[in-house]
Chains A and B, each alone.
Chain A
Amino acid sequence: MKKTEILVIGGGPAGLCAANAASSLGAKVLLCERDGVPGGQLVKQTHKFFGSEKQYAGDRGIQIGQMLLEQTQSDPNIEIYTDTTVLGIYEDGIATAEHDGAHLKIDAERIIVATGAAEKFLPFEGNDLPGVYGAGAVQTLMNVSGVRPAQRVLMVGAGNIGLIVSYQLMQAGVEVAAVIEGAPNIGGYLVHASKIRRLGVPILTQHTVLGAYGDGRVQRARIAQVDSSWQPVPGTEQDIECDAVCLAVGLTPLTELCWQAGCEMAYIRELSGHVPIVNEFLETTCSGIYAAGDVSGIEEASSAMVEGRLAGYSAAASLGHAPEKAAALQRAAQEELLELRSGPAGARILAGIAKVAEKGGRR
């Protein structure tokens, strides 16, 4: 049995900031990360981040991750277990994990769930063929392992992820045949769209993928135009020569641990799926369990960092660490979140949070 004051599950921007914040008030923290290196999505992001300057926008994702990690690693209050997947949280507060190929029990007084998100999938013929990849897999191959995922890719989804990963593919020497998008408009920021258009990649809105075909691997894909109710328009089918189809059709909160722990959950469309109901300090309906970052609603790294801090301060304060200092820091973090969400993209998130409030939670 491993004992700690605060267990942080997940080492993305939310988890790293939660650990740093809790420790800054004097709490002892154990951070468990499934991957070999903490950083979450940040380890794969070679582009300069959008968001607020306070949250290091303008720096590349990998640099932000490195900076947060260095702070965590040099902190004597924080212990980091990598290659450690947390498997469950039980009624008696004990969490279990796979660590070094063995089963580990963790006895923590508070738990912060910062597990991030999982990618959505899309139904179409041949979607199980080797060469149909999630955008995250493509990023892992090319930006972490340095292996070209394919020679010519069809990108599905023109949100920020689809656009950014298309550009990263070209930086890695991969051709992008086209970016297709079911909606009538490009979802991502115009700067990212313009960048890849200038390089000659067509962005086809109101198009969907009908199938992926090939002998044991993707060799071609069929796309078609869709009408306003997303139905394929007969006669508009086109075959695209490609050896990979990359799906960038959105993320959904990775909430298995919250479900399993018994947290009250709600489906909130604006937050991209089922999320735990949390209060203004990000505590779930299970006393002592907090949720921060994409797991409580898909948003951005900037807000994930501030949410992480808020959860970290709150968990530490609830254990009696520097409660007065904590109260001021909690308030500051709450205000920072409001400020981050004051733009047009934030309106959707605020609408989602209002729905969480209706269900008895509040942020």
Chain B
Amino acid sequence: MRITEHPVLDFRRGEKVTFFYNGKAVEGYESETVAAALHAAGVRALSHSHELGRPRGIFCAIGNCSSCFMTVDGEPNVRVCVTKVRGGMRVEEQQGRGVIQYEEN
């Protein structure tokens, strides 16, 4: 849930944009990270542990811990806590280590 009233802070969120989480449309703001937008939409599990497949969410939110790896526009292992939302972005929950797509030249 987003904070609308705060005694000290005033949030300037920028343009509202739509992106896709596992194919579903989600609203976010240009100034916020994918992790924040998904959190606001109630999504907590972002990735899964490699061996046991246990769900993982954000832990540090500053790009330190690698607990928030997702596949973004086909690119695996993106730290969504430090990646800004863009309109039309496709964000996917990732199983395991992810697959790197190579472009054929």
The 4 closest A-B pairs by CB, nearest first: A130-B57, A137-B61, A145-B36, A146-B11
Task: Give the complex CA separation of A46 and B54 in angstroms.
Answer: 35
> How many pairs of A and B residues are in contact by the CB < 8 Å rule?
92
B60 at the interface (CB under 8 A from A): yes
Q: Which residues of chain B have C-beta atoms less than 8 A from A171's C-beta? A: 6-8
Q: Are B59 and A137 in contact (CB under 8 A)?
A: yes
Asked if B58 and A137 sit within 8 Å, CB to CB, the answer is yes
Closest to B40 in A: A147
Whether the pair A34, B9 counts as a contact (CB closer than 8 A) is no
Q: Quick check: B60 and A141 within 8 Å, CB to CB? A: no
Segment 67-89 of B: residues with Cβ below 8 Å from A: 81-82, 84
Interface centre among B2, B3, B55, B60 (most CB of A within 10 A): B3
The distance in angstroms between the C-alpha atoms of A135 and B36, with both chains bound, is 15
A146 lies within 8 A of B9 (CB): yes
Task: Say yes or no: B2 contacts A134, CB within 8 Å.
Answer: no
Determine chain B's interface SS by DSSP, over half rule. Answer: loop
Cβ of A216 < 8 Å from any Cβ of B?
A: yes
Instruction: For A173, list chain B residues within 8 Å (CB).
Output: 3, 5
Count the B residues whose beta carbon is within 8 Å of the partner chain — how many? 33
Partner of A147, one of B1, B9, B46: B1
Given known pairs A143-B9, A216-B45, the reply for A148 and B63 (CB within 8 Å) is no
Chain A residues whose CB sits within 8 angstroms of the CB of B24 once the complex forms: none
Please give the residue numbers on chain A whose beta carbons come within 8 Å of chain B beta carbons, in ascending order.
34-36, 46, 60, 62, 85, 118-119, 128-134, 136-137, 140-143, 145-149, 171-173, 216-217
Contact A133 B59 (CB under 8 A): yes
**What 1/0 flags go to B21-40 for Cβ under 8 Å of A?**
00000000000110010011
Residues from chain A with a CB closer than 8 A to the CB of B33 are 145
The answer to whether B8 and A60 have CB atoms under 8 Å apart is yes
Of the A-B pairs whose beta carbons lie under 8 Å apart in the complex, a sample of 30, sorted by A's number, is A46-B9, A62-B9, A128-B49, A129-B54, A129-B55, A130-B44, A130-B45, A130-B55, A133-B58, A134-B59, A134-B60, A136-B61, A136-B62, A137-B58, A137-B61, A140-B61, A140-B62, A140-B81, A141-B58, A146-B2, A146-B11, A147-B32, A147-B39, A147-B40, A148-B3, A149-B39, A171-B7, A216-B44, A216-B55, A217-B45
> CB distance B64 to A217 under 8 Å?
no
CA A46 to CA B64, docked complex, whole Å: 23
Which among B13, B46, B63 is the interface contact of A34 at CB below 8 angstroms? B63
Residue from B8, B57, B84 in contact with A131 in the complex, judged by beta carbons closer than 8 Å:
B57
- B43-56 near A? 1/0 per residue, CB < 8 Å: 01110010000111
